[in-house]
Structure 1
Amino acid sequence: MKRNKQINVKRALALAGTFNLLYCCARACLLPFLTLYFRQLGLTPAMTGIVMGTKHLITLVWSPVASLLSKHYNKRRAVINCSLVGSAAVALVLLLIPPTDVHTQTSTCNMSDLSSAPTQSLDGNWVVSGVTALAPQSGASFPAQTPPDTQPPASVVTSRTHHDDDKSHPQHQNADSAAAPVRNKRSNFKSGSGEQRREKATEEEKMEGYFDFLGSLKVMDTQHQLFFLILITVSVWESASAPLEWTADDGLYEYLDYADASDRYTSTGVWGLLGAAFGVGGAGLLVSQLRCLIADQTPRSAVHFYCYAGVAALALPLATHLPLYLNKKRDRANGLLKAMQLVRGSPRALLCAVTTLLVGVAGSAVDNFLLWQMQDHGSSELHMGLSLALALLSQAAFPLLTGRVSKLLSPGRVLVVGAASLGLQCFYYSFLWGPWAVLPAQVLSCFSSGALWWAVKVQCEDVATVGAERSVRRIYSALSLYLGSGLGSFAGGFAVQRFGLMWMFRGAAVGLMLWCVCLPLLQWKAPRQRRINYSRLLAADASEASDSESEQERDWLDKAMEDDRGRKNHGRRINH
């Protein structure tokens, strides 16, 4: 950017807000329903948790690295464009992976919508127009049946018996005696070329080592083959999409900082929540209006992927005009390291970090398996989309209550209220009884997400030095959204596999409630650091500043004179 170029801050914020809205809308069309699609393909809860946990951990590692590389080589806009196109293309590859014969959930489709009548296949499953119907009981898995070993025809057995009887015939004995010299020559030749055979065997063993992994995939059952294919595809997908958010965020912040408008940087966040609410609600409404099979035996759940790719394509023209600026003097890697030191040096900041980590663990259980619980109680994509949209709108409405909440509760207590609200939500989710039963709990997202992140923001301002607030805030978001969500996905998947959905939600609720009991006691014991209000110091009067400076000079002079008198008196005592 040239120095003489006029900067239009309002236009920059409008472009960034619109891009954030479209990008969050695209992600919300697919990501909340992704685990539901994995369930339809035939993955178990543990496999689903491993896939989602790997996805979060890839984002944790790759996002900062890719952002640093794009800044170092000045390729931020190219990274954003390639990330949009690549993530949309790789997401569509998931539609090419065929399902297994192992199904673990009830279909949300109305089977009367299908034109053809169901027919029963050889393995006992119901097949409708070439698509296997899903099992009627949730949580039960049905292994694919293997066909019995085929027996050879009776004629083949009879011919083999006659052939064995012919061996006792004299002509057969003469033939054997004539073939004996030939076998002896072959054995002598083989014994003479033993070294060549050993070398050839060694080469074959080396080649077998290279194909051990491929061979292991061939001997796996269909469900594990599906699991590894999905894991590889999702890893590539997340590697393509992870750099976008941090890269665009860094470019926008440095652009506004260059224009002395960095205080308006956070105003684009609410557009992301509104876009996500529109995306998840609109996708759920659209898919619920379609038939179970839309075309060419394609399930209607594939519409989520098409919506994701389509909205991402709409965001591509905006990505080419995003306000980006490269500040080579600002080293973000050192900023993150300094932010980690600031958090580690404050006991209250550490308690806030542990809270966000536990909230991320419990929140991942909700994100991954809430739709499974709703599906088991008869909810369709319409109920799921509208309930998730209500939660996002409730979270976006919390800034309207910030003034009243800050007067009633301190930020530390708001942090406790936010974690407790998420625990109440998890406990409520374990008692769902109908399609719309989840709606009352979604209103609590105003406090479980909105209030909690407001308290985290205040904590960041308390512990951070000038210019380090954004880096400290990223430390907290990485702990919750990436590390906590990754660990929670692994633990949640195995908990659902072992104990079921109901007890998984109750376990998450109990864990959060126990921490909410201990957190106020730990906050009371932790030393409180005095907060320095830099804005008040900068807004002070020049007269007040001059008065304070003169007072400081007088205090310094008086102290120096007192020290000098003390030294003189001490010298006199020594002389006496």
Structure 2
Amino acid sequence: MSANPQWDISKALMVARFFHLLCGARDACVTPFLTLYLRQMGLIAPWVGILMGTKHLIATTWAPICSFLAKNYQKRQLLLIGSLLGSAAAGLLLTLISPLDKALVYRFCNGSSSLMLPINTTLEKELAPNHSAGIKNFTIRTKRSQVNSRVMMGKGNPQRSMFETTDSSLPLLHVGSELKTPGTLVNLSLAERTRAQDRSLALSLGEHWLFLLSMMAVMFWELLSAPLGPAAADSLYEYLDFVDATDCYRRLWVWKLLGMSIGVCSVPVLVVQLDCFLAEDTPRAAVHFYGYTAFSILALPVCFAIPIPNFKRREPGHKAIKALSLIGNDCLLFLLAVTVFLTGATVANIENFLFWQMQDQGSSELSMGLSVTLSLVGEILLHPFKAKILKNLSSLGTLGLGLGCLSGQLLYYSLLWNWWAIFPAQIFGAISNGALWWAVDALVEDLVIPGTERSLSVMLRGLFYGNGASLGSFIGGFVVLHYSLAVLYKTHCVVLSLWLVLFIAIQSKLPQHRKINYSKLLAVDTADASDSEEGAERDWLIKAMRDEHLTGRAKNKY
């Protein structure tokens, strides 16, 4: 570490903790609320699912490549600074895109939710253009406009004119079946019918343009922001590994969760106090991106202080290939990878559409942020019991606990009757997320040789979890559109439950084997070891090697 002689471990840890805190707050300003912003702009669930799936796919593939190249060419500091500043600027591009309909933005603001008619849990259906139902849409819109006008004049709302002069392009709410019966339709003239169809066509074209612009902005933003996390994590880990302090690195996640708890609540406190529009075409939800930029600027000085180890010798760059070969050659690791993949698909759809469900039930963004904070703080408070849970339940039992809690959490979400009922379910979220990753890390340490644990763990969290989140987002949007959000969550609940049963059944048929931890064996006192043949037979090292050889032969036999 002659390249950084001024660094010591305490200073490095202080910088690392502060950097994780700021980056956690930075990401939490936007990421949990991004799908809400896209919905408010006028995108339906399939488009949102495609955008989020593309975002996960870029993070899974592009970020490791950038981190690897920056390490080999010793450009990590440049990558960190460029990613931090570039992503802050790219995130602001989304705020320059005008919403599809201003009336939609007003409807999602505080105060308009109380005027919304009862709707399904899938508001995205109302945004889908339906050319064959133009007459019915016009009738429902007319009735709703009259109801909203009367309520506004009672309340004296200054935005009364927005609801009195409702444009026919305003997406409709799904109301009761009594409005869908033929008896409620009125005879419209041919001119009115043609006008309604033209406006519906214009709405469809505008939605496609909105999707294309949003896709370009999200892709550009993710290409710049994705490399920040892996590059910083690799630098810190290698530095702490050089000074033999990797145990300290494993405790840095607490600071990121604390930062996320700050960011996910701080911006909504400001948002709920603002008007619906900050400018003519800028909704108040753009404040999330402004907060993202502010935390990026605060993290910039810390980014300069991150220790960047510059080794003269290059380490082998085939760790990813080796990790994939380990997964392919070990059946239990393969089952673990599939579990992580399914978990990524499930959690992605929770993050994408749960806030939509809460919004339809009248929740504010502050309540949504508090629900996320409850889950994050619960995970931190549960961590001291990690060793006891793993000891009493074993790694596989803890994995089953995590999957079971996640399945119960999904079932609860599918039956959610009010937005405030979300808070008890967040306890399940803390247990499921904590227990799952504790079990994954413990199994990885037990099943692989020393020195490959981190590369395999990064592979599981990046490639398998990220691709699962990508595929889940792609499919989830269409399920929400054609069925409902409740159907999507129940489907994930059934899939995870069936996979848990299948996992247990397959695992019970596998030969039981564990990695021998030679570092622990070396700690055994061998002072009384005998040089005789009988003493050598009882020697701990010979026994360990013999047991490992017999286990390998049994495994090959099966």
Find 1:527's aligned residue among 495, 501, 511. Answer: 511
CA drift at 1:538: 2.8
Instruction: Kindly indicate whether the alpha-carbon contact (under 8 Å) linking 1:348 and 1:528 is maintained by their aligned counterparts in 2.
Output: no
Secondary structure class of the residue paired with 2:420: coil
Residue from 233, 236, 247 that aligns with 1:249: 233
Q: 1:286 aligns with which of 264, 270, 273?
A: 270
Q: 2:410 touches 2:490 (CA, 8 Å); kept in 1? A: yes
TM-score, length-scaled by structure 1: 0.77
Q: Which residue of 2 aligns with 1:224?
A: 208
Amino acid at match of 1:529: H
Aligned to 2:310: 326
Contact 2:103–2:162 (8 Å) recurs in 1: no
Contact 1:387 1:439 in 2 (8 A): yes
- Does the alignment pair 1:90 with 2:90? yes
Kindly state the Cα deviation for residue 531 of structure 1 after the two structures are TM-superposed: 2.4
CA distance in 2, matches of 1:48, 1:549: 71
Verify the 8 A CA contact 2:265 2:369 in the aligned structure 1. Answer: yes
1:347 to 326, 331, 355: 331
Consecutive unaligned residues of structure 1, counting only runs of 5 or more, are 126-131, 151-217, 556-576
Partners of 1:345 and 1:475 lie apart in 2 by 15
- 1:295-345 Cα offsets, whole Å, 9 max, x none, are 555322111111111111100110000112133546363112112222222
What does residue 395 of structure 1 align with? 379
Question: For the structure 1 residues 395 and 381, does the alpha-carbon distance in structure 2 shift closer, same or farther, using more than 3 Å as the test?
Answer: same
1:449 aligns with 2:450: no
Deviation at 1:6, TM superposition (A): 5.3
- TM-aligned CA distance change 1:479 to 1:74, over 3 Å: closer
Largest Rg, 1 or 2 = 1
Shift of 1:277: 1.5
Deviations 1:388-423 (A, max 9, x none): 111111122221111331232011011111111111
Q: Quote the offset at 1:98 in angstroms.
A: 1.1
User: What percent of counterpart residues are identical?
Assistant: 42
Q: Which amino acid aligns with 2:453?
A: E
Give the match's secondary structure for 1:118.
helix
Change (3 A) 1:279 1:292: same
What is the aligned counterpart of 1:275 among 239, 259, 283?
Answer: 259
Equivalent residue number for residue 25 of structure 1: 25
Change (3 A) 1:85 1:135: farther
Cα offset for 1:510?
A: 1.3
User: Residues 339 and 329 from structure 1, CA distance in 2 versus in 1: closer, same or farther, beyond 3 angstroms?
Assistant: farther
The answer to whether 1:404 aligns with 2:383 is: no
TM-score (norm 2): 0.79
The residue type paired with residue 110 of structure 2 is: C
What residue is the counterpart of 1:59 in the other structure? 59
Distance in 2 separating the partners of 1:554 and 1:529: 22
- Cα distance between partner residues in 2 of 1:109 and 1:146: 35
Q: 1:374 to 1:76 in 2, by over 3 A?
A: same
- Match of 2:250, SS? helix
| Conservation of the 8 A alpha-carbon contact between 2:449 and 2:515 | no
Deviates more, 1:109-118 or 1:48-57: 109-118
Within 5 Å, give how 1:175-186 maps onto structure 2.
none
CA distance in 2: counterparts of 1:441 and 1:548, whole angstroms: 63
Structure 2 matches for 1:7-86, cutoff 5 A?
7-86=7-86
Change (3 A) 1:306 1:519: same
Say if 2:457 is the partner of 1:473: yes
Q: Does 1:414 align with 2:415?
A: no
Contact 1:287 1:300 in 2 (8 A): yes
- Alpha-carbon contact 1:41-1:103 (below 8 Å) kept: no
Q: Indicate the larger mover: 480-489 or 306-315.
A: 480-489
Counterpart-to-counterpart distance in 1, 2:86 and 2:480: 33
For residue 167 of structure 2, what is the aligned residue in structure 1?
124
Correspondence 1:305-316 to 2 at 5 A: 305-316=289-300
Q: Aligned-residue CA RMSD in angstroms? A: 3.0
Report SS of the residue matched to 2:305: coil
Q: Give deviations 1:215-267, integer Å, cap 9, x for gaps.
A: xxx99811011111111110111000111111111111111122122232212
Task: Give me the whole-angstrom Cα distance separating, in 2, the residues matched to 1:548 and 1:355.
Answer: 50
Q: 1:115 to 1:332 in 2, by over 3 A?
A: farther
Superposition deviation, residue 135 in structure 1: 4.7
* TM-superposed deviation, 1:283: 2.2
CA distance in 2: counterparts of 1:139 and 1:253, whole angstroms: 57
Query: What is the letter of the counterpart of residue 337 of structure 1?
Result: I
Q: 1:490 aligns with which of 466, 470, 474?
A: 474
Structure 1 segments of 4 or more deviating over 6 A? 102-105
Task: State how 1:143-182 maps to structure 2 within 5 Å.
Answer: 147=195
Relative to 1, partners in 2 of residues 1:23 and 1:550: Cα closer, same or farther, differing over 3 Å? farther
Structure-1 residue corresponding to 2:151: none
CA distance in 2, matches of 1:233, 1:36: 16
